[in-house]
Amino acid sequence: MSTFSFSIPRDIVYGEGSLNRLSTLKGKRAALVTGGSSMKKFGFLDQAQNLLRKAGIESIIIDGVEPNPSVETVWRGAKAMQEFNPDWIVAIGGGSALDAAKVMWCFYEHPHLKFEDIITPGSMPALRNKARFVAIPSTSGTASEITAFSVITDTKNHIKYPIVAADMVPDIAIIDPALPAKMPKEVTANTGMDVMCHSVEALASTAATSYTDPYAIESIRLVFENIEKAYTNPNDMTARFNMHNASALAGMAFTNASLGLVHALAHKIGGEFGVTHGLANAILMPYIIDFNRKYTDKYSTAERILGIKDIAEEIRVLNKKLGIPATFKECKEVDFNERKFAEVFERMSKNAHGDPCILTNPGKPTIDDVKRIYQAAYYGKSLK
């Protein structure tokens, strides 16, 4: 019999107003890490600095973390931290800001390390020698506030690296739905379908257990019931609350059970074309559920519990309602022209097959399987 472990942040504070938890931190200096401008624009960055001030904590802001954060951004932030010497790192923003802050934290604590030194799962040295970590998500999507993961892009080689280290699970997750209520419609749709994908993949994972399945199932239920409401009525705070919690619940499932083929393929097509993470997942997911079905009975379990007939079909219907295209060929977000797709196809398929997320996918997908799925999701071919 094997032994297992289940890790989540020590403190999870959720609901409207939970941002106030910052005023009770004990410490001297905090580095606030954030993305482009949304947190500043909507006043959350000022609120966070004021709450920290109330706690007697001086803070600096490390901003400008781009979507799909790069190794260079991580170095820039780590350097600023080395100069300021914070005892708290407070990441506030989307998954990109939270992910970048986690790896900045690692290089702040271990300045001698190179990016290559932390790519292999389990290779990151211990954290919390200098600082602890608060994560405040502004998207209901990646669940980076719960997880041991960070996705960093090597822009020179067009590869997104999922970094895995148990020590990167934040100390405190603040899950306040006031932040994601400001998301534009397409960000609500894409990040929300990322949540669906996390729970569907964690459920079907070969590492799923009785500890992870309930979170995955509850998260799938919450997304089916709330994503369209949050998309059509951004101020529906009940839907926002449910989606923000669904995201964290999915995180509890997948940080412990890991993911699968959808994320493996999405990481690599994201690295090649720059397509938004949740959008790539949403397009790939129904194809991969059809492909995986012969290797797992977990989709039938979800269908039975949720009272639905075919989860892949339900996701296709939902995608359509959220303005998400059925194929990459129809996707207008980035230039998915056929010539470039053919050009990168071999490299992208090989890299996707090497992505660690594939290890827990049911069945043992080959490179040919990966190619077949990319083709199907590009042209809209059935994999049933």
Ligand X SMILES: NC(=O)c1ccc[n+]([C@@H]2O[C@H](COP(=O)([O-])OP(=O)(O)OC[C@H]3O[C@@H](n4cnc5c(N)ncnc54)[C@H](O)[C@@H]3O)[C@@H](O)[C@H]2O)c1
* Residue of 99, 145, 194, 218 interacting with Fe ion (CB under 5 A): 194
Q: How far apart are CA 109 and CA 202, in angstroms?
A: 31
Contact between 150 and ligand X (CB under 6 A)?
yes
Paired tokens of 303: 């269908």
Stretch that binds ligand X, among 25-33, 83-91, 179-187, 336-344 (CB under 6 A): 179-187
Q: Which amino acid is at 276?
A: T
**Contacts to ligand X from residues 6-35, by CB under 6 A:** 35
Paired tokens of 259: 């993911």
Q: Which does 363 bind (CB under 5 to 8 A by kind): Fe ion, ligand X, none?
A: none
Q: Which does 94 bind (CB under 5 to 8 A by kind): ligand X, Fe ion, none?
A: ligand X
State whether residue 90 is helix, strand or coil: strand
The kind and range of the H/E element at 137 are strand 132-137
Contact between 36 and ligand X (CB under 6 A)?
yes
Q: Which does 151 bind (CB under 5 to 8 A by kind): ligand X, Fe ion, none?
A: ligand X
- The nearest distance, CB 147 to ligand X, in angstroms, is 4
Contact between 244 and ligand X (CB under 6 A)?
no
Nearer to ligand X, 219 or 383 (CB): 219
Q: Which does 147 bind (CB under 5 to 8 A by kind): Fe ion, ligand X, none?
A: ligand X
Q: How far apart are CA 334 and CA 342, in angstroms?
A: 16
* Residue of 86, 278, 356, 362 interacting with ligand X (CB under 6 A): 278
Contact between 147 and ligand X (CB under 6 A)?
yes
Question: Which backbone phi and psi does 160 adopt, to 5 degrees?
Answer: -95, 125
Contact between 290 and Fe ion (CB under 5 A)?
no
Nearer to ligand X, 49 or 255 (CB): 255
Secondary structure (DSSP) of 172-212 = EEEE-TTTGGG--HHHHHHHHHHHHHHHHHHHH-TT--TTT
Q: Which residues contact 94 (CB under 8 A, 6 or more apart)?
A: 35, 67, 137, 138, 139, 141, 142, 187, 191
Per-residue exposure over 183-205, b if at least 16 CB sit within 10 Å of its own CB, e if not = beebbbbbbbbbbbbbbbbbbbb
Would you tell me which residues interact with ligand X (CB under 6 A)?
A: 35-36, 38, 67-68, 93-97, 99, 138-139, 141-144, 147, 149-151, 160, 179-180, 182-184, 187, 191, 194, 277-278
Would you tell me which residues interact with Fe ion (CB under 5 A)?
A: 194
